[in-house]
A and B are shown apart, each in its own frame.
Chain A
Amino acid sequence: MEILLSVILGFMIIGAIYALHANDLLSAVIAQGIVGYGLVICFLHLRAPDLAIVQIVVETITLIIMVAVVLDSSRKELKTPAGWKGSVNVILGLVFIGFMIYFFDMATASLDVFGEHTLRMSQTYIEQGAQKTGAANLVTGVLWDFRGYDTLGEATILFTAALGVLTVLRMKGKK
């Protein structure tokens, strides 16, 4: 399982690196699709069918919006030289990444080994979820019943973002 996931993740990393360095924005967007659909395969192997379904829908919509944006504007990557500011940015990025690796190393020490996860709070959800919520799918039970307020907040964010998109894309601005 770990080897299979590592291979898929390797492809995803290659796709991500290509997406950042492509000269054509359309191919960068398609390369981002490699990452998204690779994630779907990872979810299927991690026994998360709900996530795979949602991710495949979301990735397709994102890809369509991105292709529409790129085709509506310019496809060319910028050709201007980076200059000294560019090198400063690269050095700052590498320093930042070094910090992140240090903290990741600290954080993983307290995590379980991959595949030997101990169920803490979820034990209750699994044992009593079917009687308490009546849902055969435990993920749905957690999402809509035990953590219903989270879902309410999610709906709020969704509607706020939709309002924001409508406001930004409105053709006539206030003078």
Chain B
Amino acid sequence: MTVYFMCFFLFLVGLYGIVTRRNLIKIVISFTIMEFSVFLFFALIGYVENGVAPILTKNLPENPVFVDPLPQAMVLTAIVIGLATSAMLLAIAIRLYKKYGTFDIREINNLRG
């Protein structure tokens, strides 16, 4: 249970960063931290004590206990999507910097058509 709570604490650190930071790059960093904690939580749920990786090899022990492959497959999908979304966020951030000359979100609030 400690591991679950520490993983959740990592999520909370990312959430706090998104709510309180003013710098666009820091917001993107907090976003990725939240993502990582969710991936880790999925992998933690699927873990079985003394399990082996879900790969069928020749030298498996007798009656092997496998780790759950389903959360791992889901996280594999989510990791790649996370890369795509953070690349998109960073592209928007650099575009805003080129237009306004700052990463401060308080100065990017006026729409100059």
Contacts and interface: CB of A to CB of B under 8 A. Distances in A.
A50 B77 CA distance: 11
- What range describes how many residues of A lie at the interface? 35 or more
Contact of B68 (A90, A117, A151, A168): A117
A96 B19 contact: yes
B79 A12 contact: no
Contacts of B111: none
Given A2-B2, A69-B94, A164-B88, A114 B29 contact: no
> Which of B11, B29, B80 has most A Cβ within 10 Å?
B29
A47 interface: yes
Interface residues of B, number: 78
A104 B85 CA distance: 26
Given A65-B86, A66-B25, 8 more contacts: A20-B29, A51-B43, A58-B83, A69-B90, A69-B93, A96-B19, A101-B8, A122-B68
21 contacts: A9-B10, A16-B13, A16-B33, A20-B17, A46-B43, A51-B79, A62-B32, A66-B29, A69-B93, A73-B103, A77-B23, A93-B16, A93-B19, A114-B4, A114-B44, A117-B48, A119-B68, A122-B70, A150-B74, A150-B77, A164-B88
Interface of A: 1-2, 5-6, 9-10, 12-13, 16-17, 19-20, 25, 28-29, 32, 35-36, 39, 42-43, 46-51, 54-55, 58, 61-62, 65-66, 69-70, 72-74, 77-78, 80, 82, 86, 89-90, 92-93, 96-97, 100-101, 104, 108, 111-117, 119, 121-122, 125-126, 129-130, 136-139, 141-143, 147, 150-151, 154, 157-158, 161-162, 164-165, 168-169
Interface of B: 1-17, 19-23, 25-26, 28-30, 32-33, 36, 39-40, 43-49, 51-57, 66-70, 72-77, 79-88, 90-95, 97, 102-104, 106
